[in-house]
Amino acid sequence: MRGKVTSRSSRFILVIFTAITFLSYGGRVYGGITSTFIRSEWPSVDIPFDNEAFAVPKGHNAPQQVHITQGDYDGKAVIVSWVTSDAPGLSIVNFGTSPGRYTLSAEGTMTNYTFHDYKSGYIHHCLLEGLKYDTKYYYKIGEGESSREFSFQTPPKIGPDAPYKFGIIGDLGQTYNSLSTLEHYMHSGAQAVLFVGDLSYADRYQYNDVGLRWDTWGRFIEKIAAYQPWLWSAGNHEIEYMPYMGEVIPFKSYLHRYATPYLASKSSSPLWYAVRRASAHIIVLSSYSPFVKYTPQWMWLREEFKRVDREKTPWLIVLMHAPIYNSNNAHFMEGESMRSVFESWFVRNKVDVVFAGHVHAYERSVWFFCSIYFMTFA
């Protein structure tokens, strides 16, 4: 970040925005056109099943759909997740700080599920704990010649001047435009993804293809998600309420496949949780879970705001799927009910940024409640 900030770290960096100016009075502004980039293809078209972007790794029972996320409250743990298709195999991750030398290991859990006639592969989740800050780790999963190796970098120690660069992605799907988005991200220099819901869009399909599209999406994002943590939030396309197929349990596929460190923030559900990373305190909310007064999400958020320490994490970020402000005809005012419940809390606790998805168009609004300062984001 460049420019002077009166009460925030001057080194914390976020991807996406070009500039935001905060003033000393309340109100909103029109941000104008901020980019010349225009999608080359509309409407977007799903990539075919047999495309190389969805290639299955070679080898019998080779781990696939590998992805990682933060595994604790403070960034010293990682959850490694993957799928084996032929047999359960071992839910073990070998890891260390030198490539090919794995002095540590951890054992996780395995699960699977059915969705109509579809039967998932064997889904593994393994927690790597006690990691050192700002350290590169190498890890290996799988057995014999089918094993695969990856790496990740832990964040810097939590503190007000800890620099970090996030990418913001939402409503990704698996179209040719989705591929373009991933390519843009890979050149951004970001270190982790804040994902604001709507992952695979598998619910646009029926019967066996629903599960198969979750599998292709997992392989689609692996080239990034196996090396950088994606902090997940759920969108409407994760609900998958399909009674005509006998599927009425919300978020069934999502919750089996994508783990979150919700217990570390004293949450009762993987759908809402919080983490601290570098100089940011990140709160993830669920737009499609009960949030009115006295519900578990409402009560959890009330307590989570009390845990925010601006001396350690001066940046307070909220992720959700449905935006509480939206002038686009698409999904207009769908976030109004959450706005009526939580907006006053956001203002009172001086939330710096709320990132949302759902509307497939870029829009920003700024609510002012602090003294004059200027920020420029990379």
3-state secondary structure of 90: coil
Q: What burial letters (b/e) apply to 180-198, b meaning 16+ CB within 10 Å?
A: ebbeebeeeebbbbbbbbb
280-284 vs 273-277, strand pairing mode: antiparallel
Q: What is the 3-state secondary structure (H, E, C) of 175-208?
A: EHHHHHHHHHHHCCCCCEEEECCCCCCHHHCCCH
Question: How many CA within 13 A on the CB side of residue 255?
Answer: 14
Query: Of 187, 331, 358, 360, which residue is the catalytic one?
Result: 331
256 belongs to the catalytic site: no
Backbone φ and ψ for 136, nearest 5 degrees, come out as: -90, 130
374, 10 contact by CB (below 8 A):
no
CA angle 253, 49, 237 (to 5 degrees): 30
Query: Contact at 8 Å (CB) between 260 and 284?
Result: yes
Q: Give alpha helix (H) positions in 206-285.
A: 208-225, 252-257
Q: Return d(Cα 11, Cα 376) in angstroms, integer.
A: 11
If phi > 0 it is left, if psi is from -120 to 50 it is alpha, else beta; for residue 294 that is: left
| Cis? peptide before 323, omega within 30° of 0 | no
Residues with a catalytic annotation lie at 331
